[in-house]
């Protein structure tokens, strides 16, 4: 049966979501294309590519191919059967980090429920390769939930990334509709388990709004994430990435993002990036530095 949410008529974008086209990504695109790599910046059609690549010297690499084993209704990533993992991919990611002169690299992945470890070893190998090739570059990982596997979590934790991120994506009520194959409580359990395993890592999450959630539900999600040990949070507006994906239920106004940022601050998050164009890896280094500064202030 077709999800009724997918049959809604798309709404026109409001004025605050009209972002001008900014050029200047050509050199970075050449490095990525020449390395035969994928970035979530392009695969997920992120609107902040130039700002991250050219101004913040940050990029988000998508490993283990560009095909996902799940079918989340909000995501632009290809849903077909994935290719086998490429054992040379960690080296090529590390070389691209060096060629792009990045000071902060984010490594994310398609969900690979077809692999015994969910792709944890490949992500850990990528972290190690970046560390060996560009020792001064900080590394953030943004993995799947690994189906809740603690063994997979241990594999990745052993690589000691600077930031561990796992996106809750939406509120509890809408998770079955939006994140097919995922589970709200499982995501919280993964975050909590990583915090217990690696207390020194900065813990991060993100969610999108505009699926039909209420402000109270978003605040409940913030409470749940803080209880799991999450320190920094990114909150952005969902935008329908392609025809056939879930339409936007509502566009949040800029002042609503300001209000939810204040709610996050009241709950003790070290930093909250919230706004119409915010995505999970937006201002990634700034969020990492904010978490470290908050720890210093509190004497943690």
Collect the ranges in the chain with pLDDT lower than 70: 1-10, 19-57, 71-78
Would you say residue 55 lies in a domain?
Answer: yes
Closest of 118, 178, 131, 183 to residue 159, by C-alpha: 131
Assess contact for 228 and 195: CB atoms under 8 A: yes
> What DSSP string runs through 220-251?
HHHHHHHHTT--EEEEEE----STTSPPPS-P
Closest of 298, 280, 294, 235 to residue 58, by C-alpha: 280
Helix (H) or strand (E) holding 204: strand 202-209
Note the pLDDT of residue 16.
82
Note the pLDDT of residue 31.
60
Note the pLDDT of residue 299.
79
For residue 111, which phi and psi values (nearest 5 degrees)? -70, 130
Note the pLDDT of residue 86.
94
Note the pLDDT of residue 151.
97
Q: What is the CATH number of the domain that holds 214?
A: 3.20.20.70
Would you say residue 10 lies in a domain?
Answer: no
Cβ neighbours for 252, distance < 8 A, ≥ 6 positions apart: 209, 210, 237, 276
Closest of 265, 254, 170, 262 to residue 210, by C-alpha: 170
pTM of the model: 0.87
Note the pLDDT of residue 155.
97
CB half-sphere exposure, 237, CA atoms < 13 A:
24
Alpha helices in 158-276 (DSSP H): 175-178, 184-197, 215-227, 254-266
Would you say residue 288 lies in a domain?
Answer: yes
Residue 168 domain boundaries:
25-298
β pairing state of 38-39 and 58-63: antiparallel
Going across the sheet that includes 58-63, the strands are: 38-39, 58-63, 104-109, 138-142, 163-165, 202-209, 232-237, 271-275
178: left (phi over 0), alpha (psi -120 to 50) or beta: alpha
CB environment 91-114: b (16+ within 10 A), e (fewer): bbbbbbbebbebebbbbbbbbbbe
Helix (H) or strand (E) holding 41: helix 40-43
DSSP structure class, residue 138: E
Assess contact for 32 and 102: CB atoms under 8 A: no
Would you say residue 249 lies in a domain?
Answer: yes
How many domains, the chain? Answer: 1
CB environment 197-213: b (16+ within 10 A), e (fewer): ebeebbbbbbbbbbbbb
Would you say residue 12 lies in a domain?
Answer: no
Assess contact for 56 and 283: CB atoms under 8 A: yes
Note the pLDDT of residue 44.
47
Would you say residue 7 lies in a domain?
Answer: no
Cα–Cα distance for residue pair 150/119, rounded to 1 Å: 13
Would you say residue 8 lies in a domain?
Answer: no
Would you say residue 46 lies in a domain?
Answer: yes
Task: Count CB-CB contacts under 10 A for residue 245.
Answer: 16
């Amino acid at each position: 049966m077709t999800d009724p949410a997918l049959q809604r008529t798309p709404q026109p974008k409001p004025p605050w979501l009209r972002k001008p086209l900014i050029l200047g990504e050509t050199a970075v695109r050449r490095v990525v294309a020449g390395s035969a790599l994928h970035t979530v910046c392009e695969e997920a059609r992120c609107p902040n590519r130039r700002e991250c690549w050219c101004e913040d010297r940050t990029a988000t690499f998508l490993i283990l191919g560009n095909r996902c084993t799940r079918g989340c209704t909000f995501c632009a990533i290809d849903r077909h059967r994935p290719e086998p993992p490429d054992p040379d991919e960690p080296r090529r990611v590390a070389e691209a980090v060096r060629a792009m002169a990045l000071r902060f690299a984010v490594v994310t992945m398609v969900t690979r429920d077809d692999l015994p470890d969910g792709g944890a070893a490949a992500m850990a190998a990528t972290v190690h390769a970046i560390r060996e090739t560009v020792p001064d570059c900080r590394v953030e990982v943004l993995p799947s939930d690994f189906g809740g596997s603690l063994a997979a979590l241990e594999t990745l934790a052993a690589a000691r990334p600077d930031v561990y991120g796992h996106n809750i994506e939406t509120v509890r009520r809408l998770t079955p509709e939006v994140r097919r194959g995922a589970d709200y409580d499982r995501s919280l359990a993964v975050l909590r388990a990583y915090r217990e395993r690696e207390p020194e890592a900065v813990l991060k999450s993100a969610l999108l709004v505009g699926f039909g959630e209420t402000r109270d539900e978003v605040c409940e999600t913030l409470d749940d994430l803080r209880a799991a040990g999450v320190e920094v949070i990114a909150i952005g507006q969902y935008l329908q990435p392609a025809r056939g994906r879930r339409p936007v239920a509502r566009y949040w106004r800029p002042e609503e993002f300001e209000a939810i940022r204040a709610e996050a601050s009241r709950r003790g998050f070290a930093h909250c990036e919230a706004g119409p164009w915010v995505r999970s890896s937006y201002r990634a280094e700034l969020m990492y530095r904010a978490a470290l500064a908050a720890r210093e202030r509190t004497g943690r």
